[in-house]
Amino acid sequence: MKTLENLFKDELADMYDAERRIIKALPKLAKAATCPDLKEAFQVHLKQTEGHVKKLEKVFRSCGEKAKGKTCEATVGLLKEGDEIAAEFKGSPALNAALIAAAQKVEHYEIATYGCLHTWAKQLANEEAAGLLKDILDEEKDADTVLNALAFSYLNQAALGETNQASSNSAGQRPGNLRRGATVRSTASILMVR
């Protein structure tokens, strides 16, 4: 008979695999992005994701287990779609919006899974694991908030079309670039909170 503890360890192994795939994907996303703020957001989340792997190893240890991964087919698929859309929209003003969408799909998957893992750790009375999983969950939510702020500020606007761009782009501004503004500063402050 499988138990909640089995399910917990199973999902833990799924995320251990997912996070290591995301570590390989984030530098590619950062390289593909043409918006400096988006590049930076990906680089910041890469550092956080490296921390997630370390934290997951501690969670495994808190259950008396060695860290092990089990192929996360969802992450494999989401990252593959991300690669495809990045290739399709290369050179397009909508590229950054496409990269944000791909990254948000991954973050939402992580948020859903870490939300479950955090709840289960509490139900299993593993307070150490619950604390570590809550820390990861919060960073995934922050990453999603930053991506939202970037998407809402200017990127999607830049993707609206040539006419819009020609009229709204002031000198020295590349298409798809993010203009510095209040939203960007609040994004930076979100990044600095943790």
- For Zn ion, the binding residues (CB under 5 A) are 49, 52
74 binds, among Fe ion, Zn ion, none (CB under 5 to 8 A by kind): Fe ion
Tokens 């798809």 — which residue?
A: 176
DSSP string, 89-112: TTTSTTHHHHHHHHHHHHHHHHHH
Residue (of 86, 182, 186, 89) closest to 145 by Cα position: 186
Tell the smallest beta-carbon distance from residue 56 to Zn ion (Å): 9
| Rounded to 5°, angle at Cα 15 from 12 and 19 | 140
From residue 2 to residue 31, the character string flagging contacts with Fe ion as x (rule: CB under 5 A) and all else as - is ------------x-----------------
Distance CA 66, CA 136 (A): 19
Helices (DSSP H) in 63-94: which residue ranges? 73-88
61-80: which residues touch Fe ion (CB under 5 A)?
Answer: 72, 74
Nearer to Zn ion, 49 or 126 (CB): 49
144 lines the binding site for Fe ion (CB under 5 A): no
96 binds, among Zn ion, Fe ion, none (CB under 5 to 8 A by kind): none
Residues that bind Fe ion in the complex, under the rule CB under 5 A: 14, 72, 74, 110, 140
